[in-house]
Chain A
Amino acid sequence: MADMRPPIESGCPDPFQYMHPLMIKNFGNWKYHDRPRPGVLHHVAHSGDEIWTVRVGTQRQLGPHELNLICDIIDKFGEGFVRFTIRSNLEIMVSKKDKVDPLIKAFEEAGYPVGGTGPSVTMISHTQGWLHCDIPGTDASGVVKALMDDLHEEFVKEDMPNRVHITTSCCQINCGGQGDIAINIQHTKPPKINHDLVANVCERPSVVARCPVAAIRPAMVNGKPSLEVDEKKCICCGACFPPCPPMQINDPDHSKLAIWVGGKNSNARSKPMFHKLVAAGVPNNPPRWPEANAIVKKILRVYKQDAKDWERVGDWVERIGWPRFFELTELPFTKFHIDNWRGARATLNASTHIRF
């Protein structure tokens, strides 16, 4: 231990050392922006300086080949500076307009789509899934790859009423976040408990405390201290699984996908909104999840046709109403769509506001 190196607790690095010089020069002094074409942002500073940003979609998980390929393109056609958006898109900044087209061409020739700006379907924000997570009900990168293949056209164009942020999550914790459309795992059966392991692996009181509906209690099973689940109470959320892996919640057949719409983080127009359940029981069907993709594409098609400019999916549904949403998307409306969690009453219609 004597020669162990103590860490340098430097924390979050200063971004100025990696920032494009024009961004440093005009920091806090930008005047306006426009979008000359899909995938390109053009910002103008009060000083008169201009900067062009080319936005590029990636597979998020990058190895040396991809990183060197991307860096080679940026060094040759850009100016050596790049940043990432919250949705894992690359943004390459250049100081001259005439650098934009060659940069776009180079990325497209290398197989990287340019787009994701303005009213487009931008990159799906996602989690780790089977590749690396310890509790995943499905994969993340695969779902995203399959869907983005199908939505590629909508990434490179700006043809939607407003921006569309799609998210995916491999468990009900929903690490992918709120989305205009969210594709999330929904378990439908209580955990299967391996009673031989519980006593050694799980801190039982913590597991009992994790359950949102108090359905777990300590029990002796086959002479060993374990846990049991009141299966009538259990809502199959999977909250017990992370602290207690012998309570397997994932099931190849019964862990399904659910689709949610209308989440929005921005304060623009309406206040931020949570996404709402629209479809469930969708098979978790690798490698290309065709059933989930079909529903997402159907919702997008209807939204594109019916929404007005600047309406996000959530804004659009608020205008047309949920009955019309289910009618247009041809999705079944069931008793499961009616909320019974805390605060549910506020989601019920307490008026005669009904569209006929």
Chain B
Amino acid sequence: MAQTPKNPEKHSTYLPLDKKKSTKAFHKTPMLDQLEAGPWPSFVTGLKRLALNNNMMVDLLGQLEHSYKTRLGYWKGGTVSVFGYGGGIIPRFSEVASMFPESKEFHTIRVQPPAGNHYTTDMLRKLSNSWDKYGSGLIAFHGQTGNIMFIGTTSEKTQTFFDEINDYGWDLGGAGPCVRTGMSCVGAARCEQSCANEQKIHRLLVNDFLDDMHRPALPYKFKFKVSGCPNDCMNSIQRADMAVIGTWRDDMKVDQKEVKTFVKGKGRKYVIDNVINRCPTKALSLNDDDSLAVDNRNCVRCMHCINVMTKALSPGDDKGVTILIGGKRTLKIGDTMGTVVVPFKKLETNEDYEWVKELAHTIIDFWAENGLEHERCGEMIERIGLVNFLEGIGIEVDPNMITHPRTGSYLRMDEWDQEAAKWNERKQAG
């Protein structure tokens, strides 16, 4: 910040070097010091503030500066857990402990946040106080999997800290080859575009797999993410093994009076350029009287027009979810997006929710049985083909699962007649 803060003690740059309580002298950190200037709040100033009170953070800063200088990392994993669990802790032992002995152990404790990441200030302070007692004081809200990351403590204090926060309602997340901490958007709590009860689905799924989370024994990680609408704020298609995304199957809702107000306010050109022409399936057109015509049969629920005209347009009433399986990041075969496995499922009754839970169990069981070591669910699907996967989990094929049918002729189709008959039977039954 260019100007001096009005109240320096109540500012992100506050660093009372004269009140240093830690007994170890600070290491010189000329490179990190350069990350204290500038308008964005500085994590380096934060680390230094923690180092005023604790020697572990003094050496942590020393090791970090050493990394900046040598452009190498110096942490190694190991095995640390709490009594009764096999995972949830990210153990870190320093390879340069001889230079920085106080931070030779610097483990992270992964803790599951409430669905939707809601907190009261009282609870944030309580968690912070507990961590200040048993750890470095440093907390990341949140890691990329979605955990609260309590960064930096010793093996011994890992248990004490966990015991304390576990008593007031917090449980460890996943680490290693297991079901991981889930994520869900703010959703129905504050968003008019929500088409699902995100927090309910999130907790229903994750909390039914706690044994698989706390005692890692799967081929690799498995992530659940829940987004309330196709805007997919939880990035679930690309980042979750099982993505549950809210959608609707009846007509979207149009308040024509609000449409006209919007057109009047923004002008016809703006509406045509930014709403009508941006519809991916050309399902919109602007009528002569500035009302909106929607071809709902061809709307793919992309959300764009609803995002632009928040007051005039909204999702329909017949809501449910689309489920995609197999999204993941680069390791090992390259990025994969999730694939539609359930185009639409209504989630209303207990039986509906039970069905989703059962589907998750079926998928994880099939993958646990058939996945190779360190193979994500999406990679297994890539290896065995979608059809084998669907047969394994007992789901019928559906044209919503593909972008287009096969383009090559090289395959055996001996059972074409039976398969065609199955489709006709399903159509008649449905």
Contact = CB atoms under 8 A, between A and B. Distances in A.
Contacts of A8: 166-167, 171
Contacts of B47: 61, 63
B32 interface: yes
A30 B191 contact: yes
Contacts of B409: none
B114 A12 contact: yes
Contact of A127 (B119, B125, B144): B144
B144 A176 contact: yes
B186 A83 contact: yes
Interface string B160-197: 00110011011110000000011101101111101001
Interface string A86-128: 1010010100000000000000011111000000000001111
A139 B122 contact: no
Interface in B46-69: 46-47, 49-50, 64, 67-68
A13 B121 contact: no
A65 interface: yes
A64 B132 contact: yes
B116 A12 contact: no
Nearest to B131: A64
Interface in B245-282: 270, 273-274, 278, 280
Interface in B317-345: 329-335, 337
Interface stretch (B105-113, B354-362, B394-402): B105-113
Contacts of B183: 86
A177 B114 contact: no
Contacts of B239: 177, 265
A236 B42 CA distance: 33
Contacts of A1: 83
A200 interface: no
B366 interface: no
B411 interface: no
B84 A7 contact: yes
A300 B348 CA distance: 44
Nearest to A272: B237
B285 interface: no
B429 interface: no
Given A174-B330, A250-B72, A310 B304 contact: yes
A19 interface: yes
A64 to B, nearest CB: 5
A226 interface: no
For chain B, which range describes its interface: under 10, 10 to 19, 20 to 34, or 35 or more residues? 35 or more
B35 to A, nearest CB: 5
A136 interface: yes
Nearest to B275: A310
Interface stretch (B8-16, B287-295, B385-393, B416-424): B8-16
Interface in B197-250: 197, 199, 202-203, 206-207, 210-211, 213-214, 230-235, 237-239
B374 A209 contact: yes
Interface stretch (A69-77, A216-224, A328-336): A69-77
Interface in B9-50: 10-14, 31-32, 34-35, 37-44, 46-47, 49-50
B207 A11 contact: yes
Contact of B43 (A32, A59, A245): A59
Contact of B40 (A70, A113, A134, A274): A113
Contact of A67 (B139, B182, B303): B139
A82 B310 contact: no
Residue in B47, B122, B140 whose Cβ sees the most chain A Cβ within 10 Å: B140
Interface in A125-144: 125-139, 141-142
Given A71-B125, A267-B230, A177 B329 contact: yes
Q: Name B's interface SS.
A: loop
Contacts of A15: 114-116, 118, 189, 199
B430 interface: no
A64 B137 contact: yes
B252 to A, nearest CB: 14
Contact of A112 (B41, B83, B308): B41
A198 interface: no
A132 B89 CA distance: 13
A267 B232 contact: yes
B160 to A, nearest CB: 10
B11 A11 contact: no
A255 B14 CA distance: 35
B426 interface: no
Contact of A177 (B34, B75, B235): B235
B223 to A, nearest CB: 12
Nearest to B142: A84
A127 B140 CA distance: 10
Given A86-B183, A134-B77, A269-B304, A309 B72 contact: no
A86 B233 contact: yes
Contacts of A209: 372-374
A110 B71 CA distance: 33
B412 interface: no
A338 to B, nearest CB: 15
B48 to A, nearest CB: 10
A11 B115 contact: no
Nearest to A206: B373
A84 B141 contact: yes
Contact of B117 (A58, A83, A132, A239): A83
Residue in B186, B232, B337 whose Cβ sees the most chain A Cβ within 10 Å: B186
Residue in A88, A252, A265 whose Cβ sees the most chain B Cβ within 10 Å: A265
Nearest to B233: A86
Nearest to A145: B35
Given A12-B181, A111-B1, A132-B90, A265 B232 contact: yes
A281 to B, nearest CB: 15
B210 A18 contact: no
B5 interface: yes
Nearest to A176: B144
A303 B161 CA distance: 47
B368 interface: no
B257 to A, nearest CB: 13
A13 B116 contact: no
Interface of A: 1, 4-15, 17-20, 23-24, 27-28, 30-34, 43, 51, 53, 57-72, 74-75, 80-86, 88, 91, 93, 109-113, 125-139, 141-142, 145-146, 148-150, 152, 172-178, 206, 209-210, 212, 237, 239, 245, 250, 252-253, 255, 263, 265-270, 272, 274, 284, 286-288, 308-310, 341-343
19 contacts: A7-B162, A13-B115, A18-B118, A33-B310, A51-B190, A57-B40, A59-B42, A63-B50, A66-B46, A67-B125, A68-B128, A88-B142, A91-B186, A127-B144, A174-B330, A266-B231, A266-B303, A286-B68, A343-B334
Given A64-B129, A269-B280, A309-B270, 16 more contacts: A10-B166, A10-B170, A19-B118, A20-B118, A28-B194, A32-B311, A34-B311, A62-B46, A135-B73, A149-B40, A152-B38, A172-B330, A239-B331, A250-B72, A272-B232, A286-B31
